Amino acid sequence: MSAPAIAKPLARYAAYKRMGDFVFMSGVIAVDPDAQRIVRGYADIPDHARTALGETGEFSVDYKEGPILAQSWYVLDRIRQTIESAGGQMSDVFKLVQYFRNLDHFPYYNRVRKLFFPQDPPVSTVVEVSGLMPCDDMLIEVEATAYLPQSR
């Protein structure tokens, strides 16, 4: 069995830390450090995600929306996998901090976030930043905090 695809850091820091009943995640970007691959569009995510996000097959539409939708899905899916590896689920996430290179991307991201939080969305902070590591292709970074009682 392979290890879960948790959000792996690009440098020397922890993907997440448990402090009592809380799990604090580092910011997650759309990069697979093992494969040294950056998510740049629909082609970089699984077919089921492409369908759920509404890939049209029209170059002009998919080229415009694809990068932020694909990165948003990838980041939230890595958060999901990381929380699950810690013993929780997405409904345990109560706080998100979202960093955008361009706040015009928020409505696209919000569509994706609803797929991961269909009922009760977490509290959120949304911030526009001038850049994200490791390169200008990064459009979004998200950090999450979850309440995950150890007595489960």
Alpha-carbon gap, residue 69 to 80, rounded angstroms: 16
SS3 38: strand
pLDDT at 152: 61
CB-based contact 84:6 (threshold 8 Å):
no
Q: pTM, whole model, 2 decimals? A: 0.91
Map out the domains of the chain with their CATH numbers: 29-146 (3.30.1330.40)
Tens-level pLDDT at each residue, the chain (152 residues): 344 566 666 666 788 899 999 999 999 999 987 778 899 999 999 999 999 999 999 999 999 999 999 999 999 999 999 999 989 999 999 999 999 999 999 999 999 999 999 999 999 999 999 999 888 999 999 999 999 998 76
pLDDT at 1: 32
pLDDT at 48: 96
pLDDT at 3: 44
CB-based contact 75:29 (threshold 8 Å):
yes
